[in-house]
Structure 1
Amino acid sequence: MSLKLISRRAVVLAATLATMAPGLALAQAKLKVAGIYTVPFEQQWAGRLHTALKAAEARGEIEYKASENVSNADYERVMREYATAGNALIVGEAFAVEAAARKVAKDFPKTAFLMGSSGKPAAPNFSVFDNYIQEPAYLSGMVAGGMTKSNKIGMVGGFPIPEVNRLMNAFMAGAKEVNPKVEFSVSFINSWFDPPKAKEAAFAMIDKGADVMYAERFGVSDAAKEKGKLAIGNVINTQPQYPDTVVASAMWHFEPSADRAIKLIKEGKFAAEDYGQYSMMKYKGSSLAPLGTFEKKVPADIVTKMKAKEKAILDGSFTVVVDDTQPKSTAK
């Protein structure tokens, strides 16, 4: 067979394959994605982003690189490096670096940015998201309200920003629904990752009678465990690490948001939008973790009420109020 004939057949075969599977080349190309986090991967919030993107990488959809513990002062430089390196999508948190992050996005209009932010999306390429998990936080509050014997619940948060406040307020509302007598002690450690400081704050509340702790930060469950009290988890399920302490957890799942962004970029349809809704239960962006080791310990009537409320949230007949105001202590 002549070289010309072989070459001609190769061209025909390539054309045929392209007709049969026009998206083949696109599907085979791995999207370059970068994650930038100001905290370690083990921190709950950043951990959810990292886990979702690692899952996409494991499926072979993306090529993923990430940086942890990036200081606010260094954030813009790292963003620019990843954008210059040709990453199609950059994911991270812009809460403390809003101006810098938006400036970088403006300088790289062909790069998609999906950033945790309290602000609005900015055309053409800066999308925002947040962990809108107030729905499972409400449900976990119902569980806490049914489990407290002293009617005193302690709550330790990172910073009193809207993203934290709304979860605490939803939790408090859920607890009050099933137990109007419950009182709350609320404090903030002004850090996203300082387990020893959170632990000390929890100890102080337990010493004043709190027998259930809302662990918005790492360290709180450790205090509860040491003192023989109970805890409610946030963002991730830590019951495997604290089987006799953590009763329930309001879970955040970043997968719906990450998968949507990746899909839209591959289709050439990514645009600036607010991804907040994809963190809600309706889109499987959040859930209440299984009661697990506490399944038989939570009062049956509380479980019944909680499951009824969960159903009402999912069918739209009940809406958890988004209250971004700073929660206050009610304990005397």
Structure 2
Amino acid sequence: MVRVTRRAFLHGSAALAAVTAATTAPRLARAADPIKTAAIYTVPVEQQWVSRIHLAATKAVERGDIDYVFSEKVSNTDYERVMREYCEAGYKLIVGEAFAVEEAARAVAKDYPDVAFLIGSSFKPDAALPNFATFDNYIQDASYLSGMIAGAMTKSGNIGMVGGYPIPEVNRLMNAFMAGVREVKGDTKFQVAFIGSWFDPPKAKETALAQIDAGADLLYAERFGVSDAAKERGILAVGNVIDTQADYPDTVVASALWHFEPTLDHAIAQVKAGKFAAEDYGMFSFMKAGGCSLAPLGTFDGKVPADIVAKVQAREAEIKSGAFTVAIDDNEPKSS
């Protein structure tokens, strides 16, 4: 896939818009050719959450399902303009994140009823806006399992947790992780902090170092930078959304992975069938849908107690079968 940024794309957008304006099919019509897809990200494409969307889109390109361009590091104040430029240029599936620009994103969707919008959001879809579907990383299942491993690996029973913002999509993962820890080590104490940024590794590291100084011997790395603090101080960390063990082979013991493929693939299928609608795509991140998993133990294979590994495997099977349900708790987690 050729990496296309917004700067390069915009040079040809005006001419392309003139062509597509004359050939636009009826509202959300059936798509036979690769779907013209554009993604808009407020952070670098390497950031955890966004990287999983980008990976799924790249796979869809390789299958021939979509043509794909993206814009990264788009400011909140610029987000609506970029959305409109892609719509005017004839893109038929817009993927993005509306957490800080919800009203603007929905306004754009209202103005372009023939475009399908698959948007990360803390809110639900609205039947009055049939071309605007929402998704989120509901990976509480994998987060719970990673917490079980953390509960077995902490010696002090004091775990530090560093997140970006206390919003539902972060809170539910932290709460699920804490619940998993407590299943194994019920008296664990948690230090919970938020850095007020989606991408500030130095600040995340600084916050994590303070938690280590306050007694934490294991860290939950919801943000980049936390595992650096754990590595520097020689303690363990648990990752989130992506697997960074290759970069921290002696530090990252477990990670809850998000797989965006089921979410994007459903949207692609709906667009191709002319059936895209205002659905809540949250369920496609559940473990039983293939939307999340626990990363392989890798370098920690044989280092996590065998009885805990067996318990984790049993819980995973129960989650997939529906015999065990991980609670979805969107409330802000607190230190304890």
Taking structure 1 as the reference length, the TM-score comes to 0.91
Matched, 1:157 2:163: yes
Matched, 1:207 2:236: no
1:295 is displaced (CA, Å) by 1.1
Q: Distance in 1 between matches of 2:31 and 2:152?
A: 52
Matched, 1:40 2:44: yes
1:326 is displaced (CA, Å) by 0.7
1:296 to 285, 292, 302: 302
Moved over 4 A (4+): none
Q: Distance in 1 between matches of 2:124 and 2:248?
A: 38
Deviations 1:177-227 (A, max 9, x none): 100121110000000000000000000011111111000000000110011
Task: Determine the structure 2 residue equivalent to 1:12.
Answer: none
- Worse overlay, 187-196 or 299-308: 299-308
1:118 to 122, 125, 135: 122
1:249 to 234, 246, 255: 255
1:304 is displaced (CA, Å) by 1.1
1:61 is displaced (CA, Å) by 1.6
Aligned pairs (5 A) from 1:86-105: 86-105=90-109
**Equivalent position SS for 1:325:** coil
Deviations 1:25-67 (A, max 9, x none): 964x221000000000010011111111011112222110000
Matched, 1:222 2:228: yes
Q: Is the 8 A contact 2:31 2:274 kept in 1?
A: no
Aligned pairs (5 A) from 1:182-197: 182-197=188-203
Aligned AA (1:42): E
Aligned AA (1:276): G
**Equivalent position SS for 2:70:** strand
**Equivalent position SS for 1:210:** coil
Aligned residues: 305
Task: Determine the structure 1 residue equivalent to 2:5.
Answer: none
Task: Determine the structure 2 residue equivalent to 1:109.
Answer: 113
1:301 is displaced (CA, Å) by 1.2
Q: Distance in 1 between matches of 2:313 and 2:70?
A: 38
Task: Determine the structure 2 residue equivalent to 1:17.
Answer: none
1:272 is displaced (CA, Å) by 1.0
1:250 is displaced (CA, Å) by 0.4
1:267 is displaced (CA, Å) by 1.1
Task: Determine the structure 1 residue equivalent to 2:321.
Answer: 315
Deviations 1:85-127 (A, max 9, x none): 1111000100100000000000000100000001111331000
Q: Distance in 2 between matches of 1:124 and 1:148?
A: 48
Aligned pairs (5 A) from 1:258-269: 258-269=264-275
Q: Distance in 2 between matches of 1:177 and 1:253?
A: 25
Distance 1:184 1:89, change over 3 A: same
Q: Distance in 2 between matches of 1:211 and 1:298?
A: 16
Alignment identity in percent?
A: 68
Matched, 1:57 2:61: yes
Q: Distance in 1 between matches of 2:193 and 2:124?
A: 28
Q: Distance in 2 between matches of 1:124 and 1:176?
A: 42
**Equivalent position SS for 1:136:** helix
Aligned AA (1:171): F
1:171 is displaced (CA, Å) by 0.3
Unaligned runs of 5+ in 2: 1-29
Unaligned runs of 5+ in 1: 1-24
Q: Distance in 2 between matches of 1:139 and 1:70?
A: 34
Pick the structure with greater CA Rg.
1
